[in-house]
Every structure is written in C-alpha cells, then in structure tokens.
A and B are shown apart, each in its own frame.
Chain A
Amino acid sequence: MGPKITRRDFARLSAFGGAVFASGLWQGAAATPPAEDFYFVQLSDLHWGFEGPPNPEAKTTLKRAIAEVNAMPKPPDFVVFTGDLTHTTDDDAERRRRMAEVKTIIGGLNVRDIKFLAGEHDASLDWGAAFKDHFGPTRYTFDHKGVHFIALDNVSDPGGQIGKEQLDWLAADLGAQPKAKPVVVLTHRPLFDLYPQWDWATRDGAAAIEILQTHPKVTVFYGHIHQENHFMTGAIAHHSAKSLIFALPAPGSTPKRTPVAWDPAEPFRGLGFRSIEAEPETAGYELYEMGIKA
C-alpha cells in the first residue's frame, strides 16, 4: 500500500489552486477493512484544435495542465478526461488527426492509468466512431479501492441522450453494487436540467437520475459547461469541472453562451482542472480546484 495522502499533502497540492469544495459526507456503514483513501484528477473540455480569440494560448494550455499534474508531489491514482478532448470538425480525417495529436500530448502525463470520456464535439457527428478507435469504449465501469466508477455516454447520440439500452445497462450495473459501496458517475453533459436553454442538460437525464437514486452513495463528475458548478438532486451531488480552452458564462447570466473573453492581464483566468480526494469509507470527496499557471 502506498503512502496515504494527508490533508497537508492536499494543502500543498492546491497551493496554486482555488477553493476547496467538500461534497456531502455520508455516514454509511463502515467498510471492513477500511478502504484506502486516494485521489484522482479530472481534466475536461480541452477542445484540441480550437483556435480563436477566447484562448490565444490554445496550443499550450493543455500542456501546462499536464506539467502541473506531473509536478504534484504524489501522482494521482488515475486521471479522467470528461469529454470534448477535441473541437469538432466536419472533416473525419481532421477529427482523427486531432484525436491522435491530443492523445500523444496526453501521453506526456506521468500517470499511466487514464480514463477517457467523449464529449459531443468528439462523438456526436459520427456516433463515437473515431473516439472509440482512439480512446476505447464510450461507456464502461471500473472499481478502484472500494469505489465503483461508471462512465456514462450522453453524447454519442447527437440528441444528447443516454438511450434506453444504456439506461438498462446502468440499472443492471448499479443494481449489482452493494448499497454500502460508493459509486461515482463520470459523464460529459449534466444529467439534470442545469440550463436547457443553452443545451446544458441530458434529454433523458431524469431517467438516469431516477436509476441512480436507487443507490444511497452516488456522486457525479461531469464537464461540458466550462466552469465549476455544484448541484444536488436528492442525495446525489453533481460537480462540473472547468475547461482547458475557454470559460463560459454562468448559466443564463448573459443572453448568449459566448465564451468569456481572454484577459491579457490575467491569462488563463477561469481555466483549470481539479483533484479529487476520495474517502471510500465515508463516500466523501474533497475537491481542489487548480488554476493554470501563466
């Protein structure tokens, strides 16, 4: 067993980061023996291939984030990318070129266990075909140190739907998990109606939440909206991550969801990633928001 991460370690890790958010701590039955705490890193919405004024450093932002992850005192157990690894293009060859390129860049992480999810920019124009060729399946599960993870695909269908077949798969998988076991759902779009006016929703997300509510210890991490957001549906906490390309306005705060303008006086403002300290014994998670160093 490796060294346990302490609060002090995380204070150091987040020295250049932002606020700390602790999701709900559930007082479930203690596992026997106690599960080991661990941490993982969430990066999201890289949009590799994007070019434009919202980010004149588009070609360096991801690389800076990777350097920051590599500089952590102790490597995370794994890194998860919650979608939109690439910016969309109608040209299938160009899409595949962007995917190959971003995969090479991500290979610079000093972490070998990397989980990928698709975003609509990656998958919605070809039902995930190019994504699967480069990054593997768009939905899957894995277990890590007492936590059950479910990667849910709500983007391969261009309508932003999970679909009945996948919902059935979700219900079967979740139903097989002990109630005391923490479950983390990783996905791209919000599962709840965050702001449907900007397409910040999953068309059949309510059905997914209904299934997830059958388990007492579910937490969701997602991307898509290019900013932090923390929301509860019943006992389920939903946490969105910042982007690594440009920030978007708070839901409904502006007439259009136009990217937040790049500020030369404060480059990379609003961009970043997070580390997540998981405490399987309590099904608790502490979130540490990291900025991008100029």
Chain B
Amino acid sequence: MRPIIVATILLCLLGAVALAATPSERHIVIKASRFFYTPARIVLKTGEPVVLDLTALDRLHGFDIPDLKVRADVLPGQVTSVRIVPPKAGSYEFHCDNFCGTGHETMAAVIVVED
C-alpha cells in the first residue's frame, strides 16, 4: 500500500480521526495546476470513506475544505493523500489556500455528497 501522508482531518459528524486508509477504500486522483483542479467536480456518497490523492503539476498549491476542516499542502512531484468520510449530503467547495498567482482567487472545485 502506498504510504499515506495524513493531513489534518476533523470529521464533523462522525467525530472520527483517520490515521490510515485501508486497501479497499476508493482513491481519487486530483491534479492541481494554475488555476484549477482536475477533476473540478467529485461526487461521493454520504459516509463513504475516500482517499484523495493530490498532486501539483506546476508549483505549490493548497487544498482546503473549510466546511470539513480539512487542509493540506499540494506539492509538485509528490502525492499527498487525504482521507475523508463525507458526513452528510451537500456541496463542499475546496480551494487553493497557498497563493499561486493571478488566478489564485478562482482556483476552486467542489465535492458533491449524495445520500
């Protein structure tokens, strides 16, 4: 199993802190480059544990989901894995919180959580 870099994870409703992913959990690759994320929209199920594998293609970026209190630095040439368990249905926007240039303010994407 690929080593997991654990970012700060506070799961609002489940109250659990994950320290490592299990092999069966779904991994989703997210690539960050100025000034967007790919994919820009991710659909998850409520309560489904997912590992987001983040990497930057050009420079340091950030990954911040304020509504889940999850954030991580996203570095070029390195995979940063963040495990989340969506607590409830809704849209959770994430954005870059490491200033990266002229389009930094627009660098955002969304996780849609469905029941």
Q: Which residue of B66, B67, B102, B106 is within 8 Å of A90 (Cβ)?
A: B102
Q: Which residue of B66, B93, B101, B106 is within 8 Å of A88 (Cβ)?
A: B101
Residue A45 is within 8 A (CB to CB) of chain B in the complex: no
Interface size, chain B (Cβ < 8 Å)? 18
Q: Are the CB atoms of B98 and A159 closer together than 8 Å?
A: yes
Residue A289 is within 8 A (CB to CB) of chain B in the complex: no
- Inside 8 A of B106's CB, which chain A residues have their CB? 256
- Inside 8 A of A88's CB, which chain B residues have their CB? 99, 101-102, 104
Residue A197 is within 8 A (CB to CB) of chain B in the complex: yes
Q: Are the CB atoms of B97 and A160 closer together than 8 Å?
A: yes
Contact with B along A247-282 (1 / 0, CB 8 A): 000000000110000000000000000000000000
Q: Are the CB atoms of A89 and B102 closer together than 8 Å?
A: yes
**Complex Cα–Cα for A159 and B59 (A):** 13
Q: Are the CB atoms of B97 and A199 closer together than 8 Å?
A: yes
Is the contact region of chain A dominated by helix, strand, or loop, or is it mixed?
loop
**Complex Cα–Cα for A38 and B93 (A):** 45
**Complex Cα–Cα for A158 and B102 (A):** 13
**Complex Cα–Cα for A90 and B106 (A):** 16
In chain B between 67 and 106, which residues have their CB closer than 8 angstroms to a CB of chain A?
67, 73, 93, 95, 97-102, 104-106
**Complex Cα–Cα for A196 and B66 (A):** 6
- Inside 8 A of B62's CB, which chain A residues have their CB? 159
Q: Are the CB atoms of B67 and A197 closer together than 8 Å?
A: yes
- Inside 8 A of B102's CB, which chain A residues have their CB? 87-90
Residue A120 is within 8 A (CB to CB) of chain B in the complex: yes
**Complex Cα–Cα for A88 and B99 (A):** 10
Q: Which residue of A89, A120, A197 is within 8 Å of B99 (Cβ)?
A: A120
- Inside 8 A of B7's CB, which chain A residues have their CB? none
- Inside 8 A of B98's CB, which chain A residues have their CB? 158-159
**Complex Cα–Cα for A88 and B101 (A):** 7
- Inside 8 A of B113's CB, which chain A residues have their CB? none
Expressed in whole angstroms, the minimum distance between the Cβ of B95 and any Cβ of chain A is 6
In chain B between 3 and 20, which residues have their CB closer than 8 angstroms to a CB of chain A?
none
Residue B53 is within 8 A (CB to CB) of chain A in the complex: no
Residue A227 is within 8 A (CB to CB) of chain B in the complex: no
Expressed in whole angstroms, the minimum distance between the Cβ of B106 and any Cβ of chain A is 8
- Inside 8 A of A159's CB, which chain B residues have their CB? 62, 73, 97-99
Q: Are the CB atoms of A125 and B99 closer together than 8 Å?
A: yes
- Inside 8 A of B100's CB, which chain A residues have their CB? 158
**Complex Cα–Cα for A199 and B35 (A):** 15
Q: Are the CB atoms of B93 and A257 closer together than 8 Å?
A: no
- Can you list 6 A-B contacts (CB < 8 A)? A87-B102, A88-B102, A160-B99, A196-B64, A198-B105, A199-B95
Nearest 4 pairs of A and B residues by beta carbon: A124-B99, A196-B66, A158-B99, A120-B99
